[in-house]
Amino acid sequence: MPSKSPEQHKLMTAVAHNPDFAKKTGIPQKVGKEFVKADKNMKEGGLYANIAAKRERIAEGSGEKMRRVGSKGAPTAEAFRESAKTAKLKNGGPSLAIGRGEKLPAKQGAGLTAKGREKYNRETGSNLKAPQPEGGSRRDSFCARMEPVAEKSEKGSRSRASMQRWNCPGW
């Protein structure tokens, strides 16, 4: 059985590696080793990785059961929404094209149009907003993140055009 919290993992690791500590806590060292082994077999990841790992354990005959939606300890609808925001996108995300009016060409400042932002937000659960060329914290953040990229790129590239569209200082 894998640990249910980082604290439990630390405790079981200490029990597995220190016989004196195991005796002091009253937890058999064998149990600590089983927990550590189960933790190593758990895949890193979020909600969906945990669900997949539990399904694998059930298929192997662990005796566990999947919890019903709404029951105590089951993931909530909010947890699924939050997880969807950070899930890795298949094939790099939604397909956006200049021809469909979802992106601007580099000559017009690059970046997404309102139609492109709407499509991206709908398909990924994100909340992209329009550029903030008049100034503000979003512009400052964008300029700071994009400057190293734009400096390495060629003239006429989308990254340089986006720096100009956002009115970044020095572009």
CA 103 to chain centre: 25
- Number of C-beta neighbours around residue 7 at 10 A: 9
Instruction: Output the pLDDT for position 90.
Output: 61
Tell which wins on pLDDT, 80 or 65.
Answer: 65
Instruction: Output the pLDDT for position 86.
Output: 60
Instruction: Output the pLDDT for position 85.
Output: 65
What tens digit of pLDDT does each residue of 18-35 get? 989 889 899 999 988 888
Confidence of residue 119 (pLDDT cuts 50, 70, 90): very high
Residue 103's DSSP bridge partners are 112
